[in-house]
Amino acid sequence: LKMTFDRMDINVWEVIEAAKTKPFGFQAFYPGPGLGGHCIPLDPFYLSWKAAEYGMWTRFIGLAGEINTRMPGYVVHRLTEALADEKKTLNGAKVLVLGLSYKADIDDDRESPSYELIELLQERGAEVAYCDPHIPIARPGRKHDLGMQSAPLSAQEFAAYDAVVLSTAHEEFKDPALYAGVKLLCDTRNAVTPPEGCRYVRA
């Protein structure tokens, strides 16, 4: 829905907030740059595989997985468009990704979409760094081995990049003062109120 609403120029976060005013029968789920963790990205596919043994085809599980897997690519697409609006290209751009863990305020990076996001940016020629106060060194994982260390958490550091992409909404990242010198902030979590002068794009 986030991708559809973006195409329609509708703020999906405003839609969710409006839907939450319903006094019953609604549970809010929020979009992001993809799914991570040890369960949701993997366990439904075990069910799908087992169901197939019994002649049951759980297409919805597969479709949901495909859409969630595409989300890091969608974030890269939105960032590429935003840079192009500034007459810049992703190839050669300095990009800082905020957050390696798969959810806020923890150090668990299993299946985190941030890894896929970083690798896609690198494949397209961006010079990428990350900042995560909970993960000072990017650990080798099942699919990824970035060999990177976290950049410092400071406004001066953030201002040194052509774009900052917020992937994980750690509390430490919600201070607007951090973005005072940021040229372009691509927020995948609707987590930051940007200061004046910072171009802000939801992705």
- Which residues, including other chains, have CB under 8 Å from residue 203's CB and lie 6 or more apart? 33, 74, 75, 78, 79, 165, 186, 187, 188
Amino acid of residue 120: L
Cβ of 37: how many Cβ atoms within 10 Å? Answer: 17
Write down the residue that tokens 């003062």 correspond to: 177
Q: Which is the catalytic residue, given 39, 131, 186, 198?
A: 39
Is 39 assigned a catalytic role? yes
And the tokens for 142?
Answer: 């099942």
Q: Which residues pair with 96 in a beta bridge?
A: 129, 164
Q: How far apart are CA 73 and CA 117, in angstroms?
A: 7
Is residue 96 helix, strand or coil? strand
And the tokens for 6?
Answer: 């973006």
Distance of CA 7 to the CA centre of its chain: 18
Amino acid of residue 197: G
Q: Which residues are catalytic, by number? A: 39
